[in-house]
Amino acid sequence: AVQVVESGGGLVQPGGSLRLSCTTSDFSLSSYSMKWVRQAPGKGLEWVSTIHSSGNSPIYADSVKGRFTISRDNANNTLYLQMNSLKIEDTAVYYCATGRHYLDRSPSVAPPMMSRGQGTQVTVSS
């Protein structure tokens, strides 16, 4: 199965920052639009951000716009999410996934991925 590995989560105080990373050895991220989605405790999956395979044209959910920045390093097969000004409501497990296209705002994974990875826990708490 095609797998990605997310990392960089942790416990941070409100107003703090974290940078999440996502990488894989199963396919070349540079061939796909990529996105971040999250799942807060007791809630469904929420789309967060998507970026074009080239690294251009990032889009964001209104809830994170101006605070989060998605980027990618295709040479190192890595996707990033820089999260600043974190809020308690950002607490969630964060997953990266392939997108269907660069305007994909759905929380579901697209081929070649068939399911989400393990994700990385982000907890924002004082």
pLDDT tens sequence for the chain (126 residues): 889 999 999 999 999 999 999 999 999 999 999 999 999 999 999 999 999 999 999 999 999 999 999 999 999 999 999 999 999 999 999 999 999 999 999 999 998 998 899 999 999 999
Task: Give Cα 17 to chain centroid, integer Å.
Answer: 15
Distance CA 95, CA 7 (A): 9
Kind and range of the H or E run holding 95: strand 92-98
Alpha helices in the chain (DSSP H): none
| pLDDT the model gives residue 2 | 85
| pLDDT the model gives residue 123 | 98
Distance CA 86, CA 122 (A): 10
- Report CA torsion sign: 49, 2, 79, 23: positive
**Are 19 and 28 within 8 A, CB to CB?**
no
**Structure tokens, 14:** 């409100």
| pLDDT the model gives residue 72 | 97
- The set of residues, in sequence order, having a beta carbon less than 8 Å from that of 68 and lying 6+ positions away, is 48, 49, 60, 81, 82, 83, 84
| pLDDT the model gives residue 106 | 96
